[in-house]
């Protein structure tokens, strides 16, 4: 099977076909390529550099860009070339494995069938998790001193509150901001903070939810206005979560510990 990487200009012309503005020759070519894909003679893949070139637009050309992205999806499906930074790491891992210095790398090829074109942002999610814990610790430290049993009860309630209330409360806002489903945020960011998955897995889940080119447009170029620094993008998500946690902290500071006296003996 042939592996084909088309130029940005090709997808631009195919996008014109999908929006009814293409010329007959291009339409014939596009349909032939789709047939080759469907019959298993060729597979087409896209990449982050291609998306970066293809999806540059202002609001007046949004429809045109969306059709270009649809053309990428029709031909490529989930086939993509891995993120350039991952590619370098993969090449080094292959060389190290060949010399017996490392096990075979997890990625067996620079070509992914799971739309694995995005970067690794696990460090940013790890930082988010640490910031979350620091906020909770600060909130607990500022609670007015009470007797030991009451304090243990307050701390237990705060620990239960941390993810279920503070983080989940911000999930709909984050989902709306980035064009995701609430469940996408919960199974990635929230799951990391709950220690259900690692930051690496959380990063993969988060970007997998937005890996389709058309979704990527809405989350990256529309939802975040074309910011090019992915770690900063994730950090912005973290700041929104942090704001929600700080709001929760304000509520904690107003806890009336006398209310607990009926359940916790002094």
pLDDT score recorded for residue 260? 42
Q: What is the rounded average pLDDT for all residues in the chain?
A: 75
pLDDT score recorded for residue 259? 44
Res. 103: pLDDT tops 80: no
The arithmetic mean of pLDDT across residues 50-60, rounded, is 73
Give yes or no for a contact between 106 and 86, defined as CB atoms under 8 angstroms apart. no
Res. 265: pLDDT tops 60: no
The arithmetic mean of pLDDT across residues 47-52, rounded, is 85
Determine the Cα–Cα distance for residues 200 and 120; give it in Å rounded to an integer: 7
Q: Confidence band (pLDDT; 50, 70, 90) for 251?
A: low
pLDDT score recorded for residue 161? 57
Q: Hey, what are 161's tokens?
A: 């509150």
Determine the Cα–Cα distance for residues 200 and 197; give it in Å rounded to an integer: 8
Q: Where are the alpha helices (DSSP H) in the chain?
A: 8-18, 24-38, 48-54, 62-76, 84-98, 122-141, 148-161, 168-178, 182-185, 191-193, 199-208, 213-216, 230-253
pLDDT score recorded for residue 207? 82
Q: Confidence band (pLDDT; 50, 70, 90) for 118?
A: confident
Name beta bridge partners: 46.
Answer: 80
Res. 65: pLDDT tops 70: yes
Res. 204: pLDDT tops 50: yes
Res. 201: pLDDT tops 50: yes
The arithmetic mean of pLDDT across residues 110-121, rounded, is 81
Name the percent of the chain lying above pLDDT 70. Answer: 61
Determine the Cα–Cα distance for residues 37 and 31; give it in Å rounded to an integer: 10
Give pLDDT tens digits for 153-168: 776 766 665 555 666 7
Residue 147's CB is within 10 A of a number of other CB atoms, namely 13
Give pLDDT tens digits for 28-46: 999 999 999 999 999 999 9
Determine the Cα–Cα distance for residues 33 and 74; give it in Å rounded to an integer: 10
Q: Confidence band (pLDDT; 50, 70, 90) for 228?
A: low
Res. 257: pLDDT tops 50: no
- Maximum average pLDDT range among 43-52, 99-108, 133-142, 250-259: 43-52
133: nearest Cα among 167, 162, 165, 164: 162
The arithmetic mean of pLDDT across residues 85-96, rounded, is 76
Q: Measure CA of the first residue to CA of the last residue in the chain; give whole Å.
A: 75
- Maximum average pLDDT range among 96-100, 140-144, 213-217: 213-217
Q: What is the pTM of this model?
A: 0.69
Determine the Cα–Cα distance for residues 87 and 98; give it in Å rounded to an integer: 16
47: nearest Cα among 72, 25, 23, 13: 72
Res. 127: pLDDT tops 60: yes
Give yes or no for a contact between 45 and 5, defined as CB atoms under 8 angstroms apart. yes
Q: Where are the alpha helices (DSSP H) in 77-211?
A: 84-98, 122-141, 148-161, 168-178, 182-185, 191-193, 199-208
The arithmetic mean of pLDDT across residues 60-74, rounded, is 87
């Amino acid at each position: 099977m042939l592996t084909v990487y088309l130029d940005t200009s090709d997808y631009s012309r195919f996008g014109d076909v999908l929006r009814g503005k293409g010329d007959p020759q291009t339409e014939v070519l596009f349909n032939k390529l789709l047939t080759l894909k469907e019959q298993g003679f060729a597979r087409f893949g896209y990449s982050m550099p291609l998306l970066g070139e293809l999806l540059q637009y202002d609001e007046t050309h949004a429809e045109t860009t969306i059709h270009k992205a649809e053309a990428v999806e029709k031909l490529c499906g989930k086939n993509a070339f891995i993120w350039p930074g991952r590619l370098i790491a993969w090449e080094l891992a292959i060389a190290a494995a060949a010399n017996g210095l490392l096990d075979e790398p997890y990625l067996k090829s620079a070509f992914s069938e799971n739309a694995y074109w995005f970067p690794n942002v696990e460090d940013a999610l790890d930082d988010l998790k640490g910031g979350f814990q620091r906020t909770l610790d600060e909130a607990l430290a500022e609670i007015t001193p009470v007797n030991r049993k009451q304090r243990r009860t307050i701390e237990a309630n705060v620990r239960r509150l941390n993810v279920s209330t503070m983080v989940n409360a911000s999930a709909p806002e984050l989902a709306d901001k980035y064009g995701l489903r609430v469940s996408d945020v919960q199974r990635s960011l929230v799951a990391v903070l709950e220690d259900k998955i690692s930051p690496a897995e959380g990063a993969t889940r988060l970007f997998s939810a937005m890996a389709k080119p058309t979704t990527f447009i809405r989350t990256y170029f529309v939802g975040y206005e074309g910011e090019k620094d992915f770690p900063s993008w994730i950090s912005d998500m973290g700041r929104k979560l942090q704001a929600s946690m700080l709001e929760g902290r304000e509520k904690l500071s107003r806890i009336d510990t006398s209310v607990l006296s009926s359940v916790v003996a002094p």
